Structure 1
């Protein structure tokens, strides 16, 4: 299965964008999670399969939004990751820079934008999640042909960027070369695109409407809405999140 990073049209916070298109028949929503877990992984990384499997189990928890970013810096070993993108490697580097480090590695899991742990260390990952919390509620629901996102004001916080992340819930990949040659791997929560929707303002909150068929294009099956602070252009703490899946 070959797929690369997909970007789609942006929408402005507080502005309803209207298309008349068919909506999915049924969906699952997840609101008020305690943690957003971002796994940085690669099909060319021999130590990544245990972390990929752990992310699959985390995605089954009602209090976790799990996302897998496939990086591209392992492609040199002879297998080009079918989901890898430079943007995702850059996101991992940006996290490291925000923590005052120049080191990146796979597999790595980042919890709520503030804690990075080795992605295959089950105990450390679960411990970080158990200590995690998200203070900002994010509402997400179907509204006719649209997906309606509501984020209330909160004067105790600072402005943050609202991100839309699309993903595939599962993909099976037969790896022909590189460190995992000969294996057929099941990957879950695979990020297919990432787009800034605008700024959530702590004084006014935000309401956003998105066209579902336009967003869930390019074989994507799920959507995560992430509200994350930035400092000097680098990612900071995640304040709130929600997800929607066909």
Structure 2
């Protein structure tokens, strides 16, 4: 995850889950919604189980996070179908724009805030006594608008308010939704605090 996150063409996000907390150590960065999102992806793909570590590539495919060579090959062969443009203004606002496309379904615009990195000393469980280094740690995920296939997207957001004081950056994801389940990501961009 950390290596992929250094690439300019990858938006890397670590959604820490809480369903392993019962084995002795509660993940410092776990959010209940992250496990729900992972279960929704599994359901969308017709899979009966979830696991960690898992990488989700563009909302379309899940793969074990330990398969590094396969993940790199998937990332190399995968592109987003639409270009999400971001323009920053001197007043601290961002304009997000993306053309419409009749080939795709309407999509949700997500604001996902994250911490760039953190180190945590593990007190209990199988990693007790170790210090773990994490990166691209998701702190929140919220829907902020819609992209329509007919009209596209043209939205302005206040950057500092969107980031909040504790985050190092945010990702904007434009993702199709199939009923209540997540679909493919059509466009994405990461913004980091200067």
Same fold (TM over 0.5): yes
Match of 2:168 in 1: 221
1:133 aligns with 2:79: yes
Work out whether residues 140 and 243 of structure 1, in 8 Å CA contact, stay in contact via their aligned partners in 2. no
Alignment partners' CA distance in 2, 1:142 and 1:187: 28
Q: What displacement does 1:218 show?
A: 4.5
Work out whether residues 162 and 198 of structure 1, in 8 Å CA contact, stay in contact via their aligned partners in 2. yes
1:212 aligns with 2:180: no
* Greater RCO (Cα-Cα under 8 Å, separation 6 or more): 1
Alignment partners' CA distance in 2, 1:230 and 1:216: 24
Q: What displacement does 1:239 show?
A: 0.8
Match of 2:123 in 1: 176
1:202 corresponds to which of 149, 161, 169: 149
Q: What displacement does 1:180 show?
A: 1.0
1:94 aligns with 2:40: yes
Q: What displacement does 1:145 show?
A: 1.8
Deviations 1:83-141 (A, max 9, x none): 10110000000000011112000000010111111101111111111221101110112
Alignment partners' CA distance in 2, 1:70 and 1:106: 9
Q: What displacement does 1:156 show?
A: 2.5
Deviations 1:165-216 (A, max 9, x none): 0000111111111111111111000000001012101111111111122111
Match of 1:85 in 2: 31
1:72 aligns with 2:14: no
Secondary structure, in 3 states, of the residue corresponding to 2:66? coil
Q: Which runs of 5+ in 1 are unaligned?
A: 1-54
Match of 1:6 in 2: none
TM-score for the superposition, normalised by structure 2: 0.96
